[in-house]
Amino acid sequence: MSVNKEIKRITTETIRNMKFQGEKISMLTAYDFTIASLVDAAGTEIILVGDSAANVMAGHETTLPITLDQMIYHAQCVVRGAKRALVVVDLPFGTYQSDPQKALESSVRIMKESGAHAIKLEGGKEIEESIRRIVNAGIPVMGHLGLTPQSIYQFGSYKVRAKEDEEAEKLINDAKLLEELGCFSLVMEKIPADLASKVTAAINIPTIGIGAGSNCDGQVLVVHDMLGLNNEFKPKFVRKYLNLEDQIHQAIGQYVTDVKSGNFPNANEQY
Ligand SMILES: Nc1nc(=O)c2c([nH]1)NC[C@@H]1CN(c3ccc(C(=O)N[C@@H](CCC(=O)O)C(=O)O)cc3)CN21
Ligand SMILES: CC(C)C(=O)C(=O)O
Ligand SMILES: [Mg+2]
pLDDT tens for each residue of 159-201: 999 999 999 999 999 999 999 999 999 999 999 999 999 999 9
Q: What are the pLDDT digits (tens) for 205-254?
A: 999 999 999 999 999 999 999 999 998 999 999 999 999 999 999 999 99
Find the 186 Cα to ligand 1 centroid distance in Å: 19
Exposure string for 192-202, b = 16+ CB within 10 A, e = fewer: beebbbbbbee
- Please report which confidence band the pLDDT of residue 18 belongs to, taking 50, 70 and 90 as the band edges: very high
Q: Which pTM value belongs to this model?
A: 0.97
Which pLDDT band holds residue 7 (cuts at 50, 70, 90)? confident
pLDDT in tens, 102-156: 999 999 999 999 999 999 999 999 999 999 999 999 999 999 999 999 999 999 9
Q: Return the ligand 1 atom nearest residue 230 CA.
A: 1
Q: Which ligand is nearest to the CA of 55?
A: 1
**Residue ranges of domains in the chain, CATH in brackets:** 12-240 (3.20.20.60), 243-271 (no CATH)
Q: Which candidate, 117, 101, 147, 93, places its Cα nearest to that of 11? A: 117
Report the DSSP beta bridge partners of residue 93.
none
Determine if ligand 1 sits within 6 Å of the CB of residue 235. Answer: yes
Q: Of all atoms in ligand 1, which is nearest to the CA of residue 235? A: 23
Residue type (1 letter), 90: D
Inform me whether the pLDDT recorded for 4 exceeds 80.
no
Residue 2 has pLDDT above 90, yes or no: no
Protein residue with its CA nearest to atom 10 in ligand 1? 52
What residues are in contact with ligand 2 under a 6 Å CB criterion? 29, 48, 50-52, 90, 187, 189, 210, 220, 222
| β-strand partners of 123 | none
Residue 1 has pLDDT above 70, yes or no: no
The predicted pLDDT at position 6 comes to 77
Residue nearest to atom 26 of ligand 1 (CA): 234
CB 121 within 8 A of CB 91: yes
Question: From the CA of 237, how far away is ligand 1's center (Å)?
Answer: 9
Q: What is the chain's Cα-based Rg? A: 20
Q: Is there a binding annotation on residue 122? A: yes
